[in-house]
Amino acid sequence: MIRHRPLLVCLLLITIIAAGCIVDLAPLAQPPTIKPTSETLQIHFIDVGQGDSILVISPEGKIALIDGGEAGSGALQYLQNMGVKRIDLMVATHPHDDHIGGLPEILESIPVTKVVMNGEEHTSSTFERLLDDIAGSKAEYAEVRRGDTLTLGSLNFEVLNPGLRLGDDINNNSIVLRLAYGKVSFLLMGDAEKTAEREILDANLAVAATVLKVGHHASTTSSSAGFLDRVRPAVAVYFAGVDNSFGHPDKETLNALKAVNAKTYGTDVLGTIVITSDGQGYQVNTTGPQTVAALALDIVSLTSRVAPGSQATLNAKTLPGARCMITVHTKSGVSEARGLEPHKADSSGNISWTWKVGAGTAEGTWKIEVTAEQNGQSLTKETSYTVKK
Ligand SMILES: [Zn+2]
pLDDT in tens, the chain (389 residues): 333 444 444 444 443 333 334 444 434 444 455 454 557 999 999 999 999 999 999 999 999 999 999 999 999 999 999 899 999 999 999 999 999 999 999 999 999 999 999 999 999 999 999 999 999 999 999 999 999 999 999 999 999 999 999 999 999 999 999 999 999 999 999 999 999 999 999 999 999 999 999 999 999 999 999 999 999 999 999 999 988 889 999 999 999 999 999 999 999 999 999 999 999 999 999 887 655 567 789 999 999 899 999 999 999 999 888 899 999 999 999 999 999 999 999 988 999 999 999 999 999 999 999 999 876 677 888 899 999 99
User: 174 CA to middle of ligand 1, Å?
Assistant: 10
CA of 309 to the centre of ligand 1 (A): 42
CA distances from 243 to 30, 93, 147, 240 (A): 24, 24, 38, 9
Please choose, from the candidates 344, 317, 330, 333, the residue with its C-alpha nearest in 3D space to the C-alpha of residue 385: 330
Ligand 1 centre from 163 Cα, in Å?
A: 20
| 361 Cα–ligand 1 center, Å | 42
User: Which sign, positive or negative, has the C-alpha torsion 32, 214, 290, 94?
Assistant: positive
Distance 357 CA to ligand 1 centre (A): 38
**375: nearest Cα among 28, 30, 47:** 47
34 alpha carbon – ligand 1 mean position (Å): 27
**Predicted pLDDT at 304:** 83
The CA 215 to ligand 1 mean position distance, Å, reads 9
- Partnered with residue 319 across adjacent β-strands are none
DSSP-derived 3-state class of residue 8:
helix
- Ligand 1 centroid–CA 95 distance in Å is 9
Ligand 1 centroid–CA 191 distance in Å is 5
Please report, for residues 33, 226, 349, the alpha-carbon distance to residue 295 in angstroms, rounded to integers and kept in the order given: 29, 42, 11
- The DSSP secondary-structure symbol of 129 reads H
Cα(346)–Cα(102) distance, integer angstroms: 11
Q: Beginning with the edge strand found earlier in the chain, give each strand of the sheet holding 311-318 in spatial order.
A: 297-302, 311-318, 350-356
**Entry field: residues in the chain:** 389
Q: How far is the CA of 91 from the centre of ligand 1 (A)?
A: 14
Peptide bond into 6 cis (omega under 30): no
Question: How far does the centroid of ligand 1 lie from the alpha carbon of residue 279, in Å?
Answer: 29
Query: Could you tell me the distance, in angstroms and rounded to a whole number, from the CA of residue 239 to the centre of ligand 1?
Result: 8
Going from N- to C-terminal start, the domains of the chain cover: 22-286, 297-387
Calculate the CA dihedral of residues 110, 116, 122, 128 and round it to 10 degrees. 30
CA distance 59 to 153: 8
Residue 43 near residue 274, CB atoms below 8 Å: yes
Rounded to an integer, what distance in angstroms lies between the CA atom of residue 86 and that of residue 328? 46
Q: What pLDDT, on the 0 to 100 scale, is given for residue 10? A: 42
CA distances in angstroms from 321 to 46, 99, 276, 292, 317, listed in the order given: 17, 13, 31, 13, 11
Residue 271 zone, left/alpha/beta (φ > 0; ψ -120 to 50; rest): left
46 CA distance to ligand 1 centroid (A)? 14
Determine which helix (DSSP H) or strand (DSSP E) holds 330, and give its type and residue range: strand 323-330
* CA angle, residues 45, 48, 53, in degrees to nearest 5: 45
Q: Which residues pair with 302 in a beta bridge?
A: 314
Residue 22 Cα to ligand 1 midpoint, Å, equals: 27
Cα angle: 160, vertex 166, 169; to 5 degrees = 100
Q: How far is the CA of 217 from the centre of ligand 1 (A)?
A: 6
Distance 212 CA to ligand 1 centre (A): 16
For Cα atoms 173, 178, 179, give the angle at the middle one, nearest 5 degrees.
150
CA of 13 to the centre of ligand 1 (A): 40
How far is the centre of ligand 1, averaged over its atoms, from the C-alpha of 188 (Å)? Answer: 13
3 state DSSP class of 270: helix
38 CA distance to ligand 1 middle (Å): 33
What CATH topology corresponds to 297-387? Immunoglobulin-like (2.60.40)
Closest CA to 49 of 242, 255, 296, 224: 242
Which CATH number applies to 22-286? Answer: 3.60.15.10
Edge-to-edge strands, sheet with 149-152: 149-152, 155-161, 176-181, 184-188, 211-213, 235-238, 263-266
CB 265 within 8 A of CB 236: yes
DSSP 293: P
Between the alpha carbon of residue 325 and those of residues 245, 344, 361, 366, the distances in Å are 17, 9, 21, 17
Report how far ligand 1's centroid is from the alpha carbon of 70 (Å): 10
The percent of the chain in helix, strand and coil, each rounded to the nearest 5, is 20, 35, 45
Q: Which residues surround ligand 1, an ion (CB under 5 A)?
A: 98, 191
- The CA–CA distances, whole Å, from 87 to 194, 272, 350, 379 equal 31, 19, 28, 36
